[in-house]
Copies of this chain bind each other. A is one copy, B any other.
């Protein structure tokens, strides 16, 4: 058997459905909250994966509740497929960082312009770090012991954001604090 190979996104949905039956809406919210920091997904994707999983028999739709709510329950086949996924060596992470592209091609834009982008991104990272740290401070000790896993993923987020901030703050002055003016140096304005 072991016939249906789930992808990481579908596997995550199966992971959450181990806890309790949920509808697409709940799954979107749950995923956003629990894995959104390192795994993005949209509701379109979730609904699509759900119908695929249902067709493959890995989950089963229950009766519609209020507001057309459609709960799904994981099946034994679903638990099997999930287990198979979770035991596979995880792929390398992929990072796609558009700001770094802009930095790489930095000679093609006015330095003040790049500095504005950097400042605004720095702020986003500072805000995220603050948010993560608040969340981290709010974790009760007993939870930390019984489920160290989600704490660990949060700690990755904190480590990442700290590294990002440090990077922003250690950029050379030539990039971070350009002298305004002297625009004729830059080919984008020729």
Point out which of A109, A124, A156 has the most chain B C-beta atoms below 10 A from its C-beta.
Answer: A156
Give the interface residue-count category, chain A. Answer: 35 or more
> Which one of B89, B94, B150, B153 lies within 8 Å of A117 (CB-CB)?
B89
In the complex, are the beta carbons of B149 and A106 less than 8 A apart? yes
From A20-28, A31-39, A58-66, A133-141, the one touching the partner chain is A31-39
In the complex, are the beta carbons of B147 and A107 less than 8 A apart? yes
* Chain B residues whose CB sits within 8 angstroms of the CB of A99 once the complex forms: 90, 93
In the complex, are the beta carbons of A15 and B156 less than 8 A apart? no
| A69 located at the interface, meaning its Cβ lies under 8 Å from any Cβ of chain B in the complex | no
List A33-82 residues whose CB lies under 8 Å from chain B. 34-35, 37-40, 82
Measuring CB to CB, which residues of chain A are less than 8 angstroms from any residue of chain B?
A: 8, 11-12, 15, 18, 34-35, 37-40, 82-83, 86-87, 89-109, 113, 117, 120-121, 124, 145, 147-153, 155-156, 159-160, 162-164, 166-167, 170-172, 174-175, 188
